[in-house]
Amino acid sequence: HLYGYSQNTMNSPVDIGSKVFSFTYTNTLNTANYTNDYGRTTNDVYYKFTITNGMDIIISHCGSAVTDTYIYLLNSSGSLIASNDDYSGEGKCSSTTNSYLKMTNLAAGTYYVVSEGYSQNGDITTTIQGVPKSTIPFVNMGTYSTAFNYTDTKNTANYGNYYVGRSTNDVF
């Protein structure tokens, strides 16, 4: 990418895609190669992800070379949902000045993560993990060893949207 012109704003984030199932994404980038757009005076890296159903989301900077970091979670409009500087609670990084943020049952939608150092630029490892709030319901049709016909009617209002290709609810 061009120095300072990619992945440092909402318009050009690192796009990790749309997620339906549990996922873990980890990436280490040196913020010295970016510019400042949000938060503190240090340089930023933006990440974008979309979840198609409610999930618990954990975002951390565990293992970063930059020892004191900041995380911001923004909605699709760029409004701040949550942020973290230092964290010493459950799930904390080995260095409590590495940021850690857990959001319980984050609604389906598109989100942005801004990663930056508290007072310095350098290598920041950003990990984003998602765990769906429930497993995908499915219809058990039994086991068959020959051709068969199967008929059933389900109200899709009782199911969620788990297939990324459509915006309607799905029955599996």
The model's pTM: 0.76
CB burial of residue 10 (10 Å; 0-12, 13-18, 19+): middle
Per-residue tens of pLDDT for the chain, all 172 residues: 445 456 778 888 999 999 988 899 999 999 999 999 999 999 999 999 999 888 999 999 999 999 999 999 999 999 999 999 988 888 888 999 999 999 999 999 999 999 999 999 999 999 999 998 765 556 667 777 777 777 777 776 666 666 556 667 666 6
Q: Beta-carbon neighbour count of residue 63 at 10 Å?
A: 15
Q: What are the backbone angles phi and psi of residue 23, rounded to the nearest 5°? A: -150, 155
Distance CA 99, CA 88 (A): 9
Q: What pLDDT, on a 0 to 100 scale, did the predictor assign at position 79?
A: 96
Total Cβ atoms within 10 A of residue 167: 8
